[in-house]
Structure 1
């Protein structure tokens, strides 16, 4: 079963005042679901006047030996959701969507016999895989929906090849059921959705033996009850606050645990965060060029384990002296950077993350929302789960909205001024490392080598005064000295690893100061950069039919923009649903690493990051 670990922690902070600009775009995000243990997963058809055998002939039926519980994700209980789940366990529609043979019927509510909703067959390979099953034989099932609960009842069996008229194998009912159940337990993906399943085995619903069973084939009477969880994300963009609250009400009324990210200019946002099963935070809104007000609601369903709240006090006295890199050894480990360990001090983790049953490989992906300058926590969580993909959003300033420098919400609607919320996924669809998009930057220097530096100060490049080289480049390229400039560091493959803003310079000493406490690897080159715009656009495909892997999109920007196709769609529609994407923004940036084995670095410049779960 997929597990998500919900993260909550409090971190002390220093209050500050800010002057902010306000935009009219909103975001609201939900995450995590725990099924209601008291809800009815299915009803035994027999007391209702129904049967646990379908009707294959007037006198015989096949056992309904698998039930997909109504406690499963709502998407799985839909027609399309069943197809998506079936694909994840190796089934698909019949060959060329053609059906030869009679339909079967089931009475699940005592209201008479109703025709099967669909018949699906084992797919041996991606294209025309069910055609081979039709020829060679294999597993297949017929699905019936119980109208009173929404649960799916499946008649599963393994059949012989077409030459033998698709007769059921000896013990084919048990074999078919067990094969489907075992594949469901392994988990899988279908049409961009990732499913994880728990199974309960039930005796007594079907009489063991062959009495009344089609083809007189004996079966053991056991029924596999599947509860299927769907790792699905989505984002709703709307043009009104009323639409936003309407979408939020649907999530709020469910019994699931949620993590919510709401754009800070959302009216009455506290009402959305007031549930006992809700945690969340305020993030920055997006802009559009022609739409006055845009709101977004993102969501994901999956079971969760663990909640925790932790406080710690940062003590700068224990940080020690800054290292001197004037005598850097060129043969040193190239993964070690100029600022390695400067502020990386381990802190205690909550018991839920620091003890059993989690080990360092338990968490595959970590997504978190935290106040800026939380390097200690990020460093410690990286030590605890060194192989997990990580993406964190730095919470924006919210003094005018809530009176707090940053805003988080804990269960019951308690609003606090700092800390961390997030989740950790124990399974993954994609092993791809996080990707960072630095679109919009252009270089105005060659690639240079850092030959002397200390802390966040670069002193020499190519063994020459760093600041004087920068001034010469500005004059040579006729670039306004009042603009903002950046330093980009490169990976071995020539791609940009990090970009940091230049905050000041001293030509007499050669010093160039960068806005960072993160690593800059001396073994790699750096390059001076400039940028023409102060906005970053998140590329969103508004096409409802598009399916993709579950994706987290974080945008670091003073003016985050939605894409033109999405903006055009919003002009024509009140609400746009983006499947499987969780989209958030902050003026204060994000932290991640394109190499999950390296400690995440803080990106405070215009950029966007994407993580595939």
Structure 2
């Protein structure tokens, strides 16, 4: 299925173009997936050269502008990276989507709803099966992107896509591919780079919104993975006992905001006042799944706000974990330095892997001229059999396991990785 995957990282555009020119004969007649990361030091002329080069790599391609790949070495934040993946045309189909999404979640919006509005929507979104039909009713169009009309739902292994910040409509439609894991990267924000909010590519065209993707079917099956380097559990596991929309109202029948505040006040690396939870902290609520006699972290949701007096915490999602779920609070320490480039080379990730990583605005602006590794600044690194791309806007994940598919959720933890691997 996968003909070639590689990521080239360099400050020298000429080195990247040289690597791509060697691949052009292989890519010419095959579906191609690519990303171009743009750092603060990528000139407009260099970017134009790279975009033009990718345009002629394949007549059947999708791509996206992305953020610099996080690294512990400050100098690498100045680098440009291009990731490419070429697939067998018999098992890969590219597509373009203009299906509208949903407006951004508002903090505490469920408290502001009138009771009448609640009564009009009686769907229980916590149920494993019913959420798909509930979501599909939210959007007027039931049609999949035209390119996917003739694909078998049961033979589809995975769907990878790049999107603007409203992928909900596409996620809803793609839910009918129940055997496929969906992995989406929300493109990096590019208003100061290209004048577009997001920059997506489909064949020779450039788009500012919607999504572009590739559907992989038959052939070797992929396996999903996720890694959260540096993340620390700060409470014991607890049971969700009350939720409302994107709000968690009770954990173990107790005030979740006070539980969280108590936990971070006692964390040695964090200073928090007794009155509120600092907005600067990177705090998350994770769902735990039982594996044998132990539990593993299965999903993570960013905590947007919390109010000890009211009790509730608001999550960056449309629907909080269902009542009865086992959850735990997590914190990413302020001292954590994402090092995605090193993580993708770890033994836990297969050499044939496609990885989407999360970064943050702080990481993108963290380059300090006094910390730059000048000796390594001219180097070029090629990661063979690895496709790596990052964005400060996060990833969307919906994994298929044993015929069941999970509700799409957003991974936004700086330095985290989600992806697919082929063994």
Same fold (TM > 0.5): yes
Q: TM (normalized to structure 2)? A: 0.74
Q: 1:374 to 1:273 in 2, by over 3 A?
A: same
Matched residue of 1:364: which SS? strand
Secondary structure of the residue aligned to 1:513 is: strand
User: 1:495 & 1:592 partners in 2: Cα distance?
Assistant: 17
Structure 1 match to 2:339: 537
Classify 1:490/1:612 alpha carbon distance in 2 versus 1 (closer, same or farther; 3 Å): same
**In the aligned structure 1, how far is the partner of 2:28 from the partner of 2:130?**
46
Give yes or no for the alignment of 1:282 onto 2:65: yes
Deviates more, 1:365-374 or 1:345-354: 345-354
1:401 matched to 2:193? The reply is yes
Q: 1:460, CA displacement in angstroms?
A: 1.3
Displacement of 1:541 in angstroms is 8.5
- Counterparts of 2:118 and 2:297, CA distance in 1: 25
Match of 2:310 among 495, 509, 525: 509
- Higher alpha-carbon deviation: 291-300 or 277-286: 291-300
1:100-499 maps to which residues of 2 (within 5 A)?
231-251=3-23, 255-257=28-30, 258-265=32-39, 266=42, 267=46, 268=48, 269-275=50-56, 277=59, 278-288=61-71, 289=73, 291=75, 293-304=78-89, 308-314=95-101, 335=128, 341=134, 345=138, 347=141, 348-354=143-149, 356=150, 358-383=151-176, 385-412=177-204, 414-432=205-223, 434-477=224-267, 479-481=270-272, 482=278, 483-493=281-291, 494-499=295-300
Instruction: Specify whether residues 576 and 471 from structure 1 end up closer, same or farther in structure 2 by C-alpha distance, changes over 3 A only.
Output: closer
1:242 and 1:598, CA in 2 relative to 1: closer, same or farther beyond 3 A? same
Q: Which has the higher contact order (CA 8 A, sep 6+)?
A: 2
Mind listing any 5+ residue stretches in structure 2 that lack a counterpart?
A: 104-109, 273-277, 367-371
Q: Secondary structure at 1:445's aligned position in 2?
A: coil
Q: How far off is 1:577 after superposition?
A: 2.9
Distance 2:138 2:337 in 1: 34
Q: What is the CA-CA distance between 1:381 and the residue it aligns to?
A: 0.6
Q: Secondary structure at the match of 1:473?
A: helix
Determine helix, strand or coil for the equivalent of 1:248.
helix
Q: Which has the greater radius of gyration?
A: 1
**C-alpha distance after superposition, 1:251-305 (max 9, x if no partner):** 4576335332111344224323443724321011124416454343333333336
Q: What SS class does the counterpart of residue 399 from structure 1 fall into?
A: coil
What are the superposed Cα offsets for residues 109-166 of structure 1, whole Å, 9 maximum, x if unpaired? xxxxxxxxxxxxxxxxxxxxxxxxxxxxxxxxxxxxxxxxxxxxxxxxxxxxxxxxxx
Q: In terms of mean alpha carbon deviation, does 305-314 or 524-533 score higher? A: 305-314
Deviation at 1:589, TM superposition (A): 1.2
What TM-score comes out, normalization by structure 1 length? 0.52
The residue aligned with 1:43 is none
Alignment partners' CA distance in 1, 2:290 and 2:221:
24
Partner of 1:553: 355
Q: Deviations over 1:474-513 (max 9, x none)?
A: 3444742323322111112211111222211222321111
Rounded Cα–Cα distance in structure 2 between residues aligned with 1:345 and 1:474 = 38
Q: How many residues align?
A: 364
Distance 1:312 1:508 in 2: 40
Q: What secondary structure sits across from 1:495 in the alignment? A: strand
| Contact 2:286–2:329 (CA under 8 A) maintained in structure 1 | yes
Alpha-carbon shift at residue 401 of structure 1 (Å): 0.4
